[in-house]
Structure 1
């Protein structure tokens, strides 16, 4: 598996996009609705919802991998308590 750059939607949808380091970042990810969220160099280090096999298939067909991230952000955790 190659390393992926992760981008997270700033909206409430929980959508994330993984792009292999050697690929260009898709245009839709560049903008105020998205933020850089780190790197994944192993499926074990990926966020909850990241699937290495699905990522490989997504990249093969689209050049990137879209997935729903199930991690709650700090603001949501504060509001729940």
Structure 2
């Protein structure tokens, strides 16, 4: 797996764009609609929603991979049983 630069859309949809570091960032990834979300070098670092097989296909055809990312929610430590 190659290292990816991640970009997060600032809208409520949870859309993310992964770009292999050796590729150019797509022209649609511009501020303020998109923000840099970091660099990842292994599958363990990828956010929820990232699919490595779909990423390989997306990069082969488009040069980038768009995906819906999800964040884990912390358990409510004050939950009443």
Relative to the length of structure 1, the TM-score reads 0.85
Q: Matched residues in 2 for 1:26 and 1:72: separation? A: 27
Q: Where does structure 1 lack aligned partners over 5 or more consecutive residues? A: 74-81
More helix, by proportion: 1
Q: Is the 8 A contact 1:43 1:51 kept in 2?
A: no
TM-score, length of structure 2 as denominator length: 0.85
Give the root-mean-square deviation of aligned CA atoms: 1.4
Whether the 8 Å contact between 1:4 and 1:39 is mirrored in structure 2 is yes
The runs of at least 4 aligned residues of structure 1 exceeding 2 Å deviation read none
Partner deviation per Cα, 1:16-54 (whole Å, 9 max, x = no partner): 000000000001112210000011111121000011111
Other-structure match for 1:39: 39
